[in-house]
Amino acid sequence: MVEAALSKPENLPVGPIGRHGVGWWGISTLIVSEAALFGYLLFAYFYTGATAPAGWLLEPAPRLTLALPNTILLLLSSVVAWWAEQGIVKRRRPQALIGFGVAFLMGAGFIAVQWLEWRSKTFSLGTSSYASLYFVTGGVHIAHVLVGLVILIVIFGWTALDFFSPRRRLVVSAAVLYWYFITIASVLVFSTYYLTPYLGFGQ
Amino acid sequence: MRQPDFRTPAIGITSLELEARLLRLWETSPGLKGFLTSVDHKQIGIRYIVTAFAFLALGGIEALAMRLQLAGPNLTLLTPAEYNQLFSTHGMTMIFLYAAPVLSGFSNYLWPLLLGSRDMAFPRLNALSYWIYLASGLFLYAGFLTGNGPNDGWFNYVPYASRDFNPGLNEDFYALGMVFLGISTTVGAANFIVTAFRTRAPGMSINRLPIMVWGTLTASVANVIVVPAVSLAFFMLWMDRQFGTQFFDPAGGGQPLLWQHLFWIFGHPWVYAIVLPAMGMVSDGLPVFCRRPLVGYSLVALSTVATMILGFGVWVHHMFATGLPGLGLSFFSAASIVIILPSAVAVFAWIATIRLGRPVITTAFLFFSSMILLFVIGGVSGFMTASVPVDWQLTDTYFVVAHLHYVLIGINVFPVVGATYFWFPKMTGRMLDEQLGRWNFWTMFLGFNLAFLPMHLTGLLGMPRRVYTYNDYGGWHALNLITSIGAFVFAIGVLLLFVNVLRSLRSGAVAGKNPWDAPTLEWSVSSPPPPYNFAVIPTLASRHPLWEDRLGNQGVVSNMERGMLLDEGKETIATTALDAAPDMVLEMPEDSAAPVLLTLGLAVLFVALLLKVWLAVGIGAAIAALALLAWFWPRSELRERTPAHG
């Protein structure tokens, strides 16, 4: 090993190439920590629900008409973000710009629909522990979507400035990975609050 | 300027020109600007250590005030309210502002030197982690100094901490301060993880990591996963107090035990996080003075990891008396008892190292070896409270206070002071005084045991913890007086350490590269090391690169004189995660104002949240966002964007 390293040094990449770089490890570690945060939020829901007396669920049969399509909208925005990253990988800048722009609009649409969904609720933040969990978990998720939107707009700007190439694009890949995480978290939050009551949790 | 995407690093030997060139590339600029923008892990590490010791002194003074109050029955030096703030602030200070940060400080300083690298993987993140630690510490102490310190114990149970029972700002300072501090812990832990896996010297495969690296790495993985639990718990508490949510209030369908679960899901892994790196210090430092390698390296490394994995499943042993179902308690009791196995592996490995070695008695050796005894005492009392019926008898008594101080002082403070004697020469170029060191050790050791050994008995006699005074019926007077005397003797011992440090900084004997004749990489560079650490990147062939000639392994030769130069910019080498084969050339960032500006923005944000000044919340968030934008702006010198715009 020592002899090989010193007598025949290899040709090595200088700085990050594609996704290959320490920044990729950094963003992955951050996502693990963020995923744990959502895990604890959902733990709080299930623990409080499991130990609460009957009648804890304020909505035994949550209405899915807005929430389900909205979750699908955000999930699809991940596909769009992937397609935008492919635009960078394949040196098709217009594709990347359109992709990041559309993903941004889909994320913004998600927040708008979520706002309508919140306004349609008959309970508010302080009504009960269920209501507090509902709004705070959703609120933490929306805060993440907002951060994701800022990231998307910044990446859009940097792409417009022609900063990236197939080799030098780690920051783009990290941003897209973070966006995947935000959309997957929305599926977990949605499933917990809108689907588990139909499976019998908290009834 | 065209920058090649690939390069074969030049191999060469150290020369004066090379060192001068590297110094120009790596040196922090002088003055205030350099102070605020430095990303040098050695400067950051020393700041961490100094700040943590300052908090240790503050927490110690708080403890002494309490011990004066408790020296006799029915004393009135402190009011109950003052006592509540003192014991809560003492716990918060020692656990959150001393014990973890001091280990981060040593790891920050030492890791790149131990690993054969020129800096941490993310130097700016490292600076951020320190600045947020400092800012959140000041935030928490601003509460204490204005009479708004935490006053429901460091673990802060609801409903004591709810607004109905605690209407002041005390708990809001604590809640927001802890969320703020959590950012520092998390980013610091992320940095350690990536550094351990990606920026080691070629040849330092995963089975050649120093145990201290194993300890901090394991603790960091735990921190990344569990710190969000306590941040969330404190955030929920703040929401309950200020915005009328019902998380913890049974009247609104809330669950008070949720607080305890979230707190201890964090809290118990955390107590391992503040001892495993310190156990690593002993595993690396003790063998140097036994003049032989650590016995059972692989077992000790694996038991470090095993302790942490088991540590995720023991949190309910803090909640045995809360009325949870018996089946659940027995599972957590069993897990808490099983954790003895990996702990015992480490203890027997240290004892065997001393037995099979030729011990050289130095102050560092005394601190490291005495830790074994204190660990066993603290471990046995922990084992007792892991049993549910015994815990029901002992919980909330001084027995638990004695146990946790044996664990935290025994396995954190003693190794840390030993590490100070051991690595101070590397950090400053001067030796600490050994004569004063003996006084230092024996005062601390005798004072500590005088204070805390009788305290087990105080607890067995039934004295409850967290009471501001007691009357004389229980027969607790004499024991409390002994504890108070011991506490002051211990404090004098800590003072002797500070005296020794201050004296030796000016007049200590000059250390040289390797005053202890130690085997690992940090001792191959000058004391203190140059800003770039290694003029050529070392290449490792064993765990003990400086002892290879005497360990008699034929043909095993690490190379510290000849290696990659990496002098075409501020560069170091990234290696593969397990084998540490050269993987890529890392371009390292220059000094940056972004971390300190981001911290400033966050500090404005948190103060504004506390006072509910929403405009200032927006300003703080905007400063933070701009600092992040500047931080992540793709730079061609870091190869983050295409060279066409370079």
> Dihedral of the CA atoms A9, A14, A20, A22 (nearest 10)?
100
Residues A174 and B57: their CA atoms lie apart, in Å, by 42
Say if residue B214's pLDDT is above 90. yes
* Tally of CA atoms within 13 A in the half-sphere of B494 that contains its CB: 22
- Chain A contact set for B632 (CB, 8 A): 154, 171
What is the nearest CA distance from B645 to chain A, expressed in angstroms? Answer: 7
Pairwise CB contact (< 8 Å): A154 & B629: yes
Q: What is the mean pLDDT of residues B553-563?
A: 87
Query: Residue A132 in contact with residue B246, Cβ under 8 Å?
Result: yes
Nearest Cβ partner for A6 among B11, B190, B252: B11
Pairwise CB contact (< 8 Å): A158 & B634: yes
Pairwise CB contact (< 8 Å): B11 & A36: no
Residues B186 and B182: their CA atoms lie apart, in Å, by 6
Query: Residue B484 in contact with residue B71, Cβ under 8 Å?
Result: yes
Q: Which amino acid is at A3?
A: E
Pairwise CB contact (< 8 Å): B258 & A32: no
* pLDDT tens-place string over residues B264-321: 999 999 999 999 999 999 999 999 999 999 999 999 999 999 999 999 999 999 999 9
Number of other CB atoms surrounding residue A161 within 10 Å: 11
Place of tokens 């690992």: B520
pLDDT, position B646: 40
Kindly list the distances between the CA atom of residue B345 and the CA atoms of B69, B303, B341, B352, B448, in Å, as whole numbers in the listed order: 41, 7, 6, 10, 25
pTM: 0.97
Question: Which of B372, B303, B288 has its CA nearest to residue B339?
Answer: B303
What is the nearest CA distance from A198 to chain B, expressed in angstroms? Answer: 21
Pairwise CB contact (< 8 Å): A40 & B257: no
Instruction: Tell me the pLDDT of chain B averaged across its residues.
Output: 95
Nearest Cβ partner for A2 among B3, B203, B253: B203
> Dihedral of the CA atoms A156, A161, A162, A167 (nearest 10)?
-70
* pLDDT tens-place string over residues B2-13: 578 899 999 999
Instruction: Tell me the pLDDT of chain A averaged across its residues.
Output: 95
- Chain B contact set for A21 (CB, 8 A): 584
pLDDT, position B559: 92
Pairwise CB contact (< 8 Å): A25 & B198: yes
Weakest-pLDDT range from A47-56, A109-118, A137-146, B360-369: A47-56
What is the nearest CA distance from A21 to chain B, expressed in angstroms? Answer: 8
Kindly indicate the confidence band of residue B241, based on its pLDDT and cuts at 50, 70 and 90.
Answer: very high
Q: What is the mean pLDDT of residues B336-363?
A: 96
* B116 conformational bin, left if phi > 0, alpha if psi -120 to 50, beta if neither: left
ipTM of the complex: 0.96
Nearest Cβ partner for B225 among A13, A16, A32: A32
pLDDT, position B2: 58
pLDDT, position B645: 45
- Chain B contact set for A12 (CB, 8 A): 6-9, 582-585
Q: What is the 3-state secondary structure (H, E, C) of chain A?
A: CHHHHHHCCCCEEECCECCECHHHHHHHHHHHHHHHHHHHHHHHHHHHHHHCCCCCCCCCCCCCCCHHHHHHHHHHHHHHHHHHHHHHHCCCHHHHHHHHHHHHHHHHHHHHHHHHHHHCCCCCCCCCHHHHHHHHHHHHHHHHHHHHHHHHHHHHHHHHCCCCCCCCCHHHHHHHHHHHHHHHHHHHHHHHHHHCCCCCCCC
Pairwise CB contact (< 8 Å): A14 & B226: no
pLDDT, position A47: 97
- Chain A contact set for B581 (CB, 8 A): 1, 5
Say if residue B1's pLDDT is above 60. no
What is the nearest CA distance from A66 to chain B, expressed in angstroms? Answer: 25
Say if residue B644's pLDDT is above 60. no
Name the residue in chain A with its Cα closest to that of B186. A33
Pairwise CB contact (< 8 Å): A25 & B262: no
DSSP state of B472: G
Nearest Cβ partner for A29 among B224, B587, B640: B224
DSSP state of B164: T
- Chain B contact set for A14 (CB, 8 A): 3-7, 584-585, 587, 639
Pairwise CB contact (< 8 Å): B557 & A47: no
Q: What is the mean pLDDT of residues B490-494?
A: 98
* pLDDT tens-place string over residues B507-533: 999 999 999 999 999 999 999 999 999
* pLDDT tens-place string over residues B599-625: 999 999 999 999 999 999 999 999 999
Say if residue B370's pLDDT is above 90. yes
